[in-house]
A and B are shown apart, each in its own frame.
Chain A
Amino acid sequence: EPEVTQTPSHQVTQMGQEVILRCVPISNHLYFYWYRQILGQKVEFLVSFYNNEISEKSEIFDDQFSVERPDGSNFTLKIRSTKLEDSAMYFCASSPRQGTNEKLFFGSGTQLSVL
């Protein structure tokens, strides 16, 4: 069964460093998302992406964050200058149809630890 894959599974970085989290969505999906989950808390929406542009973003997704689909398969989340509070599990998701009136398929996540 097709699945969303994320790399790396764990990322440790120093505060102020840039990190890039990588995702390969399911191949025939059109909509892509990033969510994050701080330990023990709910899953928080960060950004959605369609047709090579951001569709919607949350307040969390400030100027330190960016997303890119550099080729036909990868979808990346970049945090330019990490802060301690960026430590969380980051999930990529994809969806096959227009809009979000369709279930999301999640990857297994990247655990980001900012020291």
Chain B
Amino acid sequence: GESVGLHLPTLSVQEGDNSIINCAYSNSASDYFIWYKQESGKGPQFIIDIRSNMDKRQGQRVTVLLNKTVKHLSLQIAATQPGDSAVYFCAETITGGFKTIFGAGTRLFVKA
């Protein structure tokens, strides 16, 4: 049978293409959202964040889009490179709170 715990959504892209990773968050009260990248054997690393008063934020090669109406986040990676291969997690938190909650994660494979 399937090992549910080992099944992550997977996105496979060609090097140089753009990648879009989607995430649905759970708490409508969350007002700060973060994307983390986790490479094999390492802890999550911050990529980009966005606050609820914005719907788009751009970084270097990455863009985060926030749709509060449907509680949806996306991470866009431009010109995806082999070094972008990792698991990507969205995370949500509430201002004044003391915990950040992670989503399920998406595994990105970049084919050279």
Chain A contact residues: over half helix, strand or loop, or mixed? Answer: loop
Instruction: Give the A interface residue count (CB, 8 A).
Output: 29
A58: chain B residues within 8 A (beta carbon): 99
The residues in A between 37 and 94 inclusive whose CB is less than 8 angstroms from any CB of B are 38-45, 48, 50, 55-56, 58, 91, 93
Among B32, B89, B94, B95, contact of A42 (Cβ-Cβ < 8 Å): B89
A38: chain B residues within 8 A (beta carbon): 5
Total residue contacts A-B, CB cutoff 8 A: 74
**What CA separation (Å) do A31 and B99 show in the bound complex?**
10
Instruction: Name the CB-closest residue of A to B97.
Output: A100
User: Nearest Cβ in chain B — how far from A98, in angstroms?
Assistant: 9
**What CA separation (Å) do A106 and B102 show in the bound complex?**
13
A109: chain B residues within 8 A (beta carbon): 42-43
Chain B contact residues: over half helix, strand or loop, or mixed? Answer: loop
For residue B34, CB closer than 8 A to chain A, the reply is yes
- By the criterion CB–CB under 8 Å, are A45 and B95 in contact? no
A106: chain B residues within 8 A (beta carbon): 43-45
- By the criterion CB–CB under 8 Å, are A91 and B44 in contact? yes
- By the criterion CB–CB under 8 Å, are A40 and B5 in contact? yes
User: Contacts A4-B43, A33-B99 given; 18 further ones with Cβ under 8 A?
Assistant: A35-B102, A40-B8, A42-B89, A42-B102, A42-B103, A43-B36, A45-B99, A45-B101, A45-B102, A48-B99, A55-B98, A58-B99, A99-B97, A100-B97, A100-B98, A101-B95, A104-B46, A109-B43
- By the criterion CB–CB under 8 Å, are A101 and B98 in contact? no
- By the criterion CB–CB under 8 Å, are A40 and B6 in contact? yes
**What CA separation (Å) do A34 and B44 show in the bound complex?**
13
- By the criterion CB–CB under 8 Å, are A43 and B97 in contact? no
**What CA separation (Å) do A104 and B38 show in the bound complex?**
13
